[in-house]
Chains A and B, each alone.
Chain A
Amino acid sequence: MKNLYLIAFLDLKESLRAKWFLVYSLVFGGLIALFFIAGVTESQVMGFSGLSRLLLMYIQITIIILPIFILITTVRSISGDRDNHILEYMLSFPISLKEYYWGKIIGRFITVYLPVLLAMIIAIIFGVIKGASIPWSIFFLYTGLLFALSSSFLGIAFFISSFVKSSEVALGIAFFVWILLLAFIDIALISIMMSNRLDEELIIFIALINPMEIFRVSAISLFDPELTVMGPVAFYILDTIKQSTFIFISIAYPILLGLGFAFMGFRIFKKKDLV
């Protein structure tokens, strides 16, 4: 166990020094700053205002860019260390593969989750200073959703990392996964629905296996459907499934998905040659 924390801790320290981490933090922190500068909290558009509106905008952008950030920064973690012979040396010490792999995941998780969470907390603090009221339920929901989204894409990234032969291929696959999931957000689903006359259940099913779509629908689930532009799939889902049930699914499912992929990645990591 102590090795697990050791590896997580060292990976975290290494990431905090890396340039990509700086860019990563600046993007999410900058997003919040930009919203405040643009006066998002002051304007009234379509009935919702203040911090809730800011958080909604933040989360909607995060849904799109967080996955690709996680994928490209993480997908090379194991394959990259294998490529440049770091594994050959670091694994010559008496550390179990379990501790090494899961330690890396824990370290990476903290690295990717903390900046997006901190950006949101900064928004709240700033909002309080400006005298806005705090939408606690939205804040907690988004904290959970970001946690779930980070888990699912981290799991997918480690899975890809465990079996690809080279870092370039890993990047390519990561990009493909992201585009694919993105393409299946609402627009593609609707056109499929329209052109093929598929039954609604199937559409909902396709929508619900995509963590990005789940995340998107869940992010607007606390708002009044009259006020939000949510798209027909989201509307249908929220109309069919009980709100609390859906919110539970939207957090539990991506976490389980991430864990599942991470586990498969571990199985492959153990079964394959290490260097």
Chain B
Amino acid sequence: MIKINNLTKKFGKNISLDNVNIEFNKSDYIALMGANGAGKTTLVRSILGYYHPDSGSVEINGLDPIKDRVEVLNNISFVPQLPPPIKLSISELMEYISKSTGVDKGQIEYFSNEMKLDIKANINKSFFTLSGGMKQKLLIAISLARKSKIIIYDEPTANLDPKARDDFYRLLKDNQEDKTLLFITHRLEEVQDIVNREVYMDLGKIVSDKAIII
């Protein structure tokens, strides 16, 4: 599904991805790990088509995430490392998402409820005025509501309380069947029940890639 071929990405002299080769397939649930600055976020952003590679390529179901951006992103749910300070209200954000992806707003509400986030009570608030944990809950709810074939999480649980983390992992386990999950985390023990593959990065390279037998 996701094929990364000899991908190199530099920022100035800094090599953030150094000739990376890796493939992620259906029913791969990957924990992507590595020290700060290893290149995890850079890899994910390349998959989303945000970066123009210095060399190499990214293919998603045979498509280029830059040239065929709309088709590729139709199949990807993404939650970023930091929830951005979006000024739109919750209802406007939901409109943006449901109109651009076709996802039903009811589904977003359903998953918000499951994440113990009361959307109705906050519907006219600006997104950036929600608490850090509430923002993450909403972004997670959106990512699940879309039912995308590829789910990419860049450390989505930093601000979640333990209870919310449990809710999240339970929901994810129930909804990941036949998908590709790429989960950046620093805490393997938390995602152990969900993932079946561990990938480590360091200094822009993949340094280890192994299957976990559950």
Contact = CB atoms under 8 A, between A and B. Distances in A.
Contact of B100 (A6, A18, A85, A272): A6
B78 interface: yes
Interface residues of A, number: 27
B73 interface: yes
Contact of A6 (B48, B87, B95): B95
Interface string A156-195: 0000000000000000000000000000000000000000
A271 B52 CA distance: 8
A88 B88 contact: no
A274 B86 CA distance: 17
B80 A89 contact: yes
A91 B100 contact: no
B78 A92 contact: yes
Given A88-B50, A275-B45, A93 B84 contact: no
A96 B50 CA distance: 12
B175 to A, nearest CB: 18
B88 A10 contact: yes
A63 to B, nearest CB: 31
A90 B86 contact: yes
Contacts of B48: 91-92
Contacts of B69: 94, 96-97
A226 interface: no
B51 A273 contact: yes
B70 interface: yes
Nearest to B78: A92
B199 interface: no
A95 interface: yes
Given A84-B84, A89-B84, A96-B69, A3 B52 contact: no
A3 to B, nearest CB: 6
Interface residues of B, number: 30
A272 B78 CA distance: 21
Interface string B56-92: 0000000000000111111010101011111110001
Contacts of A96: 69-70
Contacts of B74: 94
Interface in A1-20: 2-3, 6-7, 10, 13-14, 17-18
B52 A273 contact: yes
B50 A273 contact: yes
B97 interface: yes
Given A94-B74, A97-B69, A85 B96 contact: no
B88 A14 contact: yes
Contacts of A3: 99-100
Contacts of A7: 96
Given A10-B96, A273-B52, A88 B73 contact: no
B52 A85 contact: no
A93 B73 contact: yes
B50 A6 contact: no
Interface of B: 45, 48-52, 69-74, 76, 78, 80, 82-88, 92, 95-97, 99-101, 139
Given A3-B100, A89-B80, A275-B45, 13 more contacts: A3-B99, A10-B88, A86-B84, A91-B50, A92-B80, A93-B96, A93-B101, A94-B70, A94-B73, A94-B74, A273-B51, A274-B49, A274-B51
24 contacts: A2-B99, A7-B96, A10-B92, A13-B92, A14-B92, A17-B87, A84-B85, A86-B84, A88-B45, A88-B50, A88-B84, A89-B86, A89-B139, A92-B78, A93-B96, A93-B101, A94-B70, A94-B73, A95-B70, A95-B100, A97-B69, A271-B52, A272-B52, A273-B52
